[in-house]
Amino acid sequence: MSAGQKRAVFLDRDGVLNEIVMRGATVGSPRTVDEFRLLPEAPSAVERLRKIGFEVHVVSNQPDVARGLLTADALSEMHELLCRACPVDGVHVCIHDDSDNCSCRKPKPGLILKVARERHINLSASYLIGDSWRDVGAALAAGCRPVLLRRPYNEGVVSPLEAFTLAEAVDLIAAGR
């Protein structure tokens, strides 16, 4: 790692830091502040990552904004709640849908690459913790190491590193895996 470059852990939001919302059999993101529930382990996991020398950045697809199902104000309020509870260095969001074909919507790496450029982050020394194939794909495309959180809804997704909880993912990173 060259001088002045930092290490970071990029965190997906839904299913990693906050509970996912089930709508029937469909996995979804919170659409209202009332639906936004931080996972109990999130603040301590973020704090631990910072203590072991990582910047922590949330990188999240939020296409419900483009779909008209989530307001920008509600999204902003959710992120204010998240930032008050978790000492993250930044929250970075793609509000586009797949049809927009933007470079920031995971699995494309644009959001991660932008943060890395702005914050002087060494991606080869960094990680992305997520719960979907999009997260694994974005991590690999950006040149950082993916850690997949195993969930009932991501069966069949493959990642070089896997954990069942955010705390276990932090343990893997702390061990230098």
- Residue 115: count other Cβ atoms within 10 Å of its Cβ: 22
Name all domains of the chain by residue range, CATH numbers in brackets. Answer: 7-174 (3.40.50.1000)
Which residue, among 157, 138, 159, has the nearest Cα to 147 in the 3D structure? 159
Average pLDDT over residues 163-167: 97
Q: pLDDT digits over 58-108, tens only? A: 999 999 999 999 999 999 999 999 999 999 999 999 999 999 999 999 999
Q: How many CA atoms lie within 13 A of 110 on its CB side?
A: 12
Can you give the pLDDT at residue 18?
Answer: 98
SS3 category, 108: coil
Q: Which residues of 15-36 are buried (b: 16+ CB within 10 A; e: fewer)?
A: bbbbebbeeeeebebbbeeebb
Determine which one of 14, 89, 131, 135 is catalytic: 14
Q: What is the DSSP letter of 150?
A: P
Catalytic status, residue 14:
yes
pLDDT band at residue 28 using 50, 70 and 90 as cut-offs: very high
The predicted model scores a pTM of 0.95
Catalytic status, residue 12:
yes
